[in-house]
């Protein structure tokens, strides 16, 4: 069983969580100036990473809060979890570059 460390509740079973897609995607500040293609890329285009991926998860059966996860998509190992708006804390995160798109 995979255990996920909710930043508020601590370690819990994977069944208590739901995957929320790729993390670190920043909403454009001036969406009225975007082309349809740029807006479509923001809304729909996501990376398909083999390796360390920045994701959003929600503790749906617990506190209900969203948080960030760094997960290896090959081994399923979770490298780190942290609150939305906070900085990742672990050494392994220092070389991680969030998605710029």
- 12-51: which residues touch Zn ion (CB under 5 A)? none
Q: Closest separation between CB of residue 9 and Zn ion, Å?
A: 3
Q: How far is the CB of 58 from Zn ion (least distance, A)?
A: 9
User: Which residue, 54 or 57, is less far from Zn ion as judged by CB?
Assistant: 57
Neighbouring residues of 93: CB distance < 8 A, sequence distance ≥ 6: 70, 79, 80
Q: How far is residue 41's CA from residue 46's CA, in Å, rounded to a whole number?
A: 8
Residues that bind Zn ion (CB under 5 A): 6, 8-9, 59, 62-63
């Amino acid at each position: 069983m995979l255990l996920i460390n909710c930043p508020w509740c601590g370690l819990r079973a994977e069944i208590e969580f739901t995957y929320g897609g790729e993390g670190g995607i920043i909403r454009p500040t001036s969406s009225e100036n975007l082309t349809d293609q740029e807006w479509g890329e923001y809304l729909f285009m996501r990376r398909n990473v083999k390796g360390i991926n920045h994701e959003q998860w929600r503790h749906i059966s617990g506190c209900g809060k969203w948080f960030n996860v760094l997960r290896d998509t090959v081994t399923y190992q979770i490298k780190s979890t942290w609150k939305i708006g906070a900085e990742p804390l672990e050494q392994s995160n220092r070389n991680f570059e969030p998605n710029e798109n």
